Chain A
């Protein structure tokens, strides 16, 4: 969930130039502000966090790791918005009674950005990689956020509306919209397949985890394909499709694993296509 908007090459984003400012605020701070808002609404309304110290641990480790690795690898002081989002996401998305999983998840997320990359691009969304890894490798001490935020529909509506507006201004709304529509469509198919009620199949997307998933993870500019809007829509449809299959296989962590599987494959194809395009362009010149 690194959303360092400034790092995006607007020309590489299907012609969608991301505004450098939004409502007078540097765009790089918009995503951190939104995720902080989600955290505060969730915590003050319902107390969603395991504890403040655990979330602060995740944020702190992310920021420290980002600074150390950025200096080590590129010799530069990094912009910390991305690390902040990764930390806060890890602090919300994993559940553990202990501290070390929050620290490890945060460290793995940041480290993955510097290791799992090709032609200067991440292959995995860092937080998705780290959360998926923790759920796979440390189930004895880690679970995912799988609770409800209560019944304050207004708080949720605020987050959905605000999130949608921000994502729209960042020109990523088509990704979120496509995913939600696909999820609902696949829920209907799963309902017909399993015989379970449609509402039961739709239920997960009404939970808090999906608010982070659709506004931050699948829309992460660093790890979504840059070929075209159509390509982005195809990729997000693929994520929803793989998730639906995993859900039919009764996998509790289906959305994380779906993005974990589809994300790098899509990015590799994207890198290959863009590389060929660049080669052709350079040859023509």
Chain B
């Protein structure tokens, strides 16, 4: 044996063993809490949590389902804290709607008083008491003007009976009967869209548990996913074509959207540029799905051909953002990351420049630095510091209970099992008060504009570690900055008020369709300024059980002017606005 060769092998071996210890520092969070002035100087903004002082005292509670699930109830009853933004009375101030899930608990509609405070009018307006054993409990809500009367109506999707409330001129709501919605389904995501471009809103509903299950009265305990990453025994999907009168007809089969995966989040936008809105679905226990709208009648499943339908994970969020300021939408899907145990990583599906071979995406989450976010839920794109790039606010955390005991071992034990094992809740070990991916630090990723995001959450004041679910971005006080609202499971809602440094400009667009659906869902605005261009789409629900404000907000950095804004309406019509003024909301009606 060669002595020097042996010495070489030993030295090489020691060097290799030292590598992780050298790299470890790159993975530890560099964040520290800093004072607000330092945050302003360094990042251009900081957040102050103001929910209570603003009068928003909403606290979410979870349901108590069938006793057969008692031993793992925190895992099953782990969703339902949703938040959606609406100006329901059209007074020019964005209001907030929170969903609750405990039987007998109340949803909340916080009217923005315009003076920094909010008042819960849900009970008064008849949209509070929606949660019961008999009719199911809320999982989220989306607002859309289904009858084109100028006032956003309310759809609440539930484990149970999906509800539609007509907005009566901003003064009251009327629950509509015989809507054509499923009598009972376990829905976890809903999106308003106008898939046939007839100017009337349609709705997509994504089922989680299969619709035959009444979660309060289970025939047996075999209701879990048949696989941790390849499950197809979830709820069906519904594509319901709106008739404009509060009634909807089932177009799912005709449209070709057939999936029984476990949907947790969906979004709609025209990804392939053919003028028709497509549908993206982030599925738990499976791959994501992309359905491309061919002609307003038929959809084609394009998950595999586009690249987003590989590598099954635990999809919990679907949001869209122009991360490179090149006029193209990337898709962000959140998943699970737990050190040493389960490193799925979130996906940032960035479209390829060359689409000659059809729409193709590559997962760039690692390259962009937005891959590891804990047990991630909702994530929203928005320019939080008005520097001209789209940032990401991500919430996370699954079950925060006993800090000294966690359920990861038992979870990892049963989730690798064959379907006869994983699919039966009776086989899942009891949680016994343990945590599972709890007490997690949220992420606020600032986009540096060059393809890299940096987490500054703690530094800019996001230090709460509640179990976040829904996130909505909204300019709550009409100041030209994006505030953030977070709905927490079994916890209080949070409002992060944005304190922005002076010197950054912005512009916003509030669209109203005429030939298109009046909510203008599906419209896109591409803004050109200072050699840049950024696209934002108006969506009827985005993220995870969330809906952002309808105004499309663009930060401009220090630019004092904008070259033009190009609007593509859902009807296909295009509008170009030359040199729109900065520092204001442009209210644009489709001509």
Docked complex: A130-181 residues within 8 A CB-CB of B: 133-135, 137-143, 146-151, 153
Query: How far, in whole Å, are A74 and B422 apart by their CA atoms in the complex?
Result: 50
Whether A206 contacts B1 in the complex (CB less than 8 A), given A111-B16, A147-B229, A197-B427, comes out as: no
Q: Report Cα–Cα, A1/B411, bound state, in Å.
A: 28
Contacting residues of chain A (98-144) with chain B, CB-CB under 8 angstroms = 98, 100, 104, 107-108, 111-112, 114-115, 133-135, 137-143
Q: Does A73 contact B (CB under 8 A)?
A: yes
Whether a CB of chain A sits under 8 angstroms from the CB of B502 is: no
Q: Please give, as numbers and ranges, the residues of chain A lying within 8 Å of B422 by CB-CB distance.
A: 148, 203
- Taking A134-B20, A141-B27, A199-B427 as contacts, is the C-beta distance between A74 and B1 under 8 angstroms? yes
State the CA gap A252–B424 with chains docked (Å): 22
Q: Which of B39-47, B93-101, B337-345, B375-383 contacts A (4 or more CB under 8 A)?
A: B337-345
The complex places the Cα of A133 from the Cα of B19 at a distance, in Å, of 11
In the complex, chain A residues whose CB is within 8 Å of the CB of B339: 139-140, 143
Closest CB-CB distance, A39 to chain B, in whole Å? 16
**CB of A24 within 8 Å of the partner chain:** no
> In the complex, what distance in Å separates the CA atom of A135 from the CA atom of B371?
19
Q: What is the size, in residues, of chain A's interface with B at 8 Å between Cβ atoms?
A: 57
B417 touches A148 (CB 8 A): yes
Query: Which residue of A is nearest B8, CB measured?
Result: A72
Which residues in window 234-284 of A have CB below 8 A to B?
247, 250-253
Q: A residues within 8 A CB of B429?
A: 194, 196-197, 200
B5 cross-chain contacts in A, Cβ below 8 A: 69, 71-75
Are A111 and B12 interface neighbours, CB within 8 A? yes
Give 11 CB contacts A-B under 8 Å.
Answer: A74-B1, A95-B342, A95-B343, A108-B16, A139-B341, A143-B343, A151-B418, A201-B413, A204-B413, A204-B417, A250-B410
Q: Is A202 an interface residue (CB 8 A)?
A: yes
- A interface vs B, CB < 8 Å? 46-47, 50-51, 69, 71-75, 95-98, 100, 104, 107-108, 111-112, 114-115, 133-135, 137-143, 146-151, 153, 194-197, 199-204, 206-207, 209, 247, 250-253
Q: What residue of chain A has the Cβ atom nearest to residue B415's Cβ?
A: A148
**Inter-subunit contact A133/B228 (CB<8 Å):** no
CB–CB A97/B366 < 8 A? yes
A196: nearest chain-B partner, CB-CB: B429
Interface string of B378-421 (1 = CB under 8 A from A): 00000000000000000000000000000011101111111111
A252-B409 in contact given A72-B5, A73-B9, A97-B365 (Cβ < 8 Å): yes
Q: Report which of B20, B409, B410 forms a contact with A138, defined as CB distance below 8 A.
A: B20
Are A196 and B227 interface neighbours, CB within 8 A?
no
B1 touches A97 (CB 8 A): no
| B interface residues, Cβ below 8 angstroms from A | 1-2, 4-6, 8-10, 12-13, 16-17, 19-21, 23-24, 27-28, 226-230, 287, 310-312, 338-343, 345, 365-366, 371-372, 408-410, 412-422, 424, 426-430
* A251 neighbours in B (Cβ, 8 Å): 409
- CA gap between A95 and B229 in the complex, in Å: 14
Min CB gap A54→B, angstroms: 11
Whether A97 lies near B229 (C-beta < 8 A) is no
Give the interface centre of A69, A100, A143, A195 by most chain B CB atoms within 10 Å: A143
CA distance A140 to B420 in the complex (A): 32
* A143–B341 touching, CB < 8 Å: yes
Minimum distance in angstroms from A38 CB to a CB of chain B = 16
> A250–B1 Cα gap in the complex (Å)?
43
Question: Whole-angstrom distance between the alpha carbons of A71 and B343 in the complex?
Answer: 37
Please state if A148 and B418 are interface contacts (CB–CB under 8 Å).
yes
Give, as a whole number of angstroms, the nearest-CB distance from B310 to chain A. 6
- In the complex, the answer to whether B427 meets A252 with C-beta atoms within 8 Å is no
| B9 near A206: Cβ-Cβ < 8 Å | no
CB atoms of A97 and B340 under 8 A apart: no
A17: min CB distance to chain B, Å: 27
Minimum Cβ distance to chain B for residue A253 (Å): 8
Given A69-B9, A137-B20, A203-B422, are A47 and B417 also a contact pair (CB < 8 Å)? no
Once the chains are docked, how many angstroms separate the CA of A50 from the CA of B341? 15
In angstroms, how far is the closest chain B Cβ from the Cβ of A180?
15
Interchain CA distance A50-B371 in the complex, whole Å: 14
* Other 14 A-B pairs with CB < 8 A, given A142-B343, A153-B418, A209-B416: A46-B312, A72-B2, A73-B6, A74-B1, A97-B345, A100-B23, A111-B12, A115-B9, A140-B340, A143-B340, A151-B227, A200-B428, A247-B413, A250-B409
Contact of B228 among A108, A147, A247 (CB under 8 A): A147
Asked if A47 and B9 make an inter-chain contact with CB atoms under 8 angstroms apart, the answer reads: no
Are B17 and A47 closer than 8 Å at their CB atoms? no
In the complex, the answer to whether B228 meets A199 with C-beta atoms within 8 Å is no
Query: Nearest Cβ distance between residue A251 and chain B, in whole angstroms?
Result: 7
- What CA separation (Å) do A150 and B312 show in the bound complex? 11
| A194 CA to B427 CA, complexed, in Å | 13
B17: A residues at CB distance < 8 A: 108, 133, 137
Contact between A75 and B230 (Cβ–Cβ < 8 Å)? no
| Chain A residues whose CB sits within 8 angstroms of the CB of B8 once the complex forms | 72-73
Q: Are B9 and A148 in contact (CB under 8 A)?
A: no
Taken together as a complex, chains A and B put the C-alpha atoms of A250 and B432 apart, in Å, by 15
CB-CB < 8 A to B229: which residues of A?
46, 147-148, 150
- Given known A95-B343, A197-B427, A207-B416, contact A115–B13 (CB-CB < 8 A): yes
Write out the residue numbers on chain A whose beta carbons fall within 8 Å of the beta carbon of B416. 146-148, 203-204, 206-207, 209
Nearest first, the 9 closest Cβ-Cβ pairs linking A and B are A139-B340, A203-B417, A207-B416, A72-B5, A250-B409, A150-B230, A138-B20, A97-B345, A140-B27
Bound form: Cα–Cα A134–B24 in Å:
12
Closest to B230 in A: A150
Q: Decide: B410 and A196 in contact? CB cutoff 8 A.
A: yes
Give the docked Cα–Cα distance between A202 and B413 (Å).
9
Q: Given A72-B5, A97-B371, A115-B10 in contact, is the A104-B413 Cβ separation under 8 Å?
A: no
Asked if A200 and B365 sit within 8 Å, CB to CB, the answer is: no
- Shortest beta-carbon distance, B230 to chain A, in Å? 4
B417 engages A75 (CB within 8 Å) = no
B366 touches A137 (CB 8 A): no
Which residues of B have CB within 8 Å of A69? Answer: 5, 9, 12
A139 to B337, CA, bound (A): 11
**Of listed B1, B226, B416, residue having the most chain A CB within 10 A:** B416
CB distance from A12 to the nearest CB of B (A): 20
Give Cα A95–Cα B343 distance, bound, in whole angstroms: 7
Contact of A206 among B2, B10, B345, B418 (CB under 8 A): B418
Residues of B within 8 A of A194 (CB): 429
Most chain B CB inside 10 Å of its own CB: which residue of A107, A134, A135, A200: A200
A75 to B427, CA, bound (A): 55
Q: Are B412 and A199 in contact (CB under 8 A)?
A: no
Minimum Cβ distance to chain A for residue B432 (Å): 10
Contacts of A96 in B (CB 8 A): 343
Q: Kindly state the separation between the CA atoms of A75 and B8 in the bound complex, as whole angstroms.
A: 13
Give Cα A95–Cα B342 distance, bound, in whole angstroms: 8
What's the least CB distance linking B347 to chain A, in Å?
A: 10
B409 — which chain A residues lie within 8 A by C-beta? 247, 250-252
- Taking CB atoms, residues of chain B closer than 8 Å to A100 are 19, 23
CB-contact partner of B311 in A47, A73, A108, under 8 A: A47
Given contacts A73-B2, A148-B228, contact A107 B16 (CB under 8 A): yes
Residues of A close to B417: CB separation below 8 A:
148, 199-200, 202-204, 206-207
Asked whether B427 lies within 8 Å of A142 as measured between CB atoms, the reply is no
B310 and chain A: residue at smallest CB distance:
A47
Q: Let me know if B427 and A200 touch, CB within 8 A.
A: yes
Complex CA–CA separation, A133 to B372 (angstroms): 22
